Amino acid sequence: MKIPPGFAQQAIQTSLGRMAYYSAMETPPNAETLVFLHGLGGGSSAYEWSKVYPAFAHRYRILAPDLIGWGRSEHPQRDYVPDDYITTIGEFLAATCDGPVTVVASSLTAAFTIRVAIAHPERFKSLILTNPTGLSDFGNSYNNTFFAQIVKTPIVDRLFYGLGVATPGGIRSFLEQRQFANPKRIYDELIEAYLESAQQDNADYAALAFVRGDCCFDLARYLPELKTPTAMLWGKKSQFVNFDVGRRLADLNPQAVQAFEVLEDVGLTPHLELPAVTIGLIERFRQQLEASHDGSSDDSSTTVSGVSPA
């Protein structure tokens, strides 16, 4: 996976193996930490945030890991479940961060991060989440979909991955049909980065666990327990979960979810489709949530929606 200029790969050891992560080779003294966590899906890795996190490196200490089973981290041969990611995300934060930090995370990983924040609120200053979903929210289980049932068939699942995911055409098709609202925003480097991750040894274990729905859960059961100041950014054209579900999730806990914003012509990953817009929103959310964390904000339920990018 391509590493942005000025960044280098490091690693820590977790209970499930080595987790690679990327950080700037030079960090400002006494800089606050921003952690960027990628979502799950064929070929996912920290590359997902690589057009965003360099913009913050002049002021912050940046950490962007490849989750276990993805990118350049270890790929254990196991049936992945939510607790695997909840545990290793917590271990990563404990190993790399001395105090509470702001975490930026996407989609299903954002939902895992909410659960980590509920269990360990002392590790978090704020959360900035894009399309956070457990993919089985409000009882609408992804496991019951026709696609998930097909991929649960032995042999068929590996054939599906080898022929339909871990190829240039498979990656492009997934990005066009499931991840991006506008296919014209897909570029060659993006496909190459996803393909490199998808073709790592044993990469199929984590990817197929995601496609089968083994890692999904009902986020609505947990979100009311969240106390960390949080902002949510939703791509209105996400193919996985409608933004109305996001609005319902946010409404479960307006004390914690203090901003909710919708980008009209964007899909699952606004940070890849519109990185410049996402950078601006992250900085605005960070300032707003920091004021709340410090106790200097009088409005703990501010929400914004319906923004359309130029």
Domain ranges within the chain, ordered by starting residue: 7-293
d(C-alpha 112, C-alpha 80), whole Å: 13
Q: Can you tell me the mean pLDDT for 13-34?
A: 96
Burial of 156 (0-12, 13-18, 19+ CB in 10 A): exposed
User: What's the confidence (pLDDT) of residue 242?
Assistant: 85
User: What's the confidence (pLDDT) of residue 89?
Assistant: 98
At 148, list the tokens. 């998930």
Q: Answer whether 265's CB lies under 8 Å from 181's CB.
A: yes
Which tens digit of pLDDT belongs to each residue from 142-199?
766 656 666 677 777 787 888 778 899 999 998 998 899 999 999 999 999 999 999 9
Q: Can you tell me the mean pLDDT for 264-285?
A: 96
Could you say which of 2.40.160.40, 3.30.590.10, 3.30.70.1150, 3.40.50.1820 is the CATH number of the domain covering 7-293?
3.40.50.1820
User: What's the confidence (pLDDT) of residue 149?
Assistant: 64
Residue 132 has pLDDT above 90, yes or no: yes
User: What's the confidence (pLDDT) of residue 295?
Assistant: 61
**Residue 53 DSSP one-character state:** G
Which tens digit of pLDDT belongs to each residue from 291-306?
876 664 444 443 433 4
Q: Can you tell me the mean pLDDT for 264-268?
A: 95
Q: Answer whether 196's CB lies under 8 Å from 242's CB.
A: no
d(C-alpha 92, C-alpha 106), whole Å: 17
User: What's the confidence (pLDDT) of residue 262?
Assistant: 95
Residue percentage of the chain with pLDDT more than 70: 90
Which tens digit of pLDDT belongs to each residue from 96-125?
999 999 999 999 999 999 999 999 999 999
Full-model pTM: 0.93
Q: Can you tell me the mean pLDDT for 125-134?
A: 97
User: What's the confidence (pLDDT) of residue 298?
Assistant: 43
Q: What's the mean pLDDT when you consider all of the chain?
A: 91
Q: Answer whether 200's CB lies under 8 Å from 73's CB.
A: no
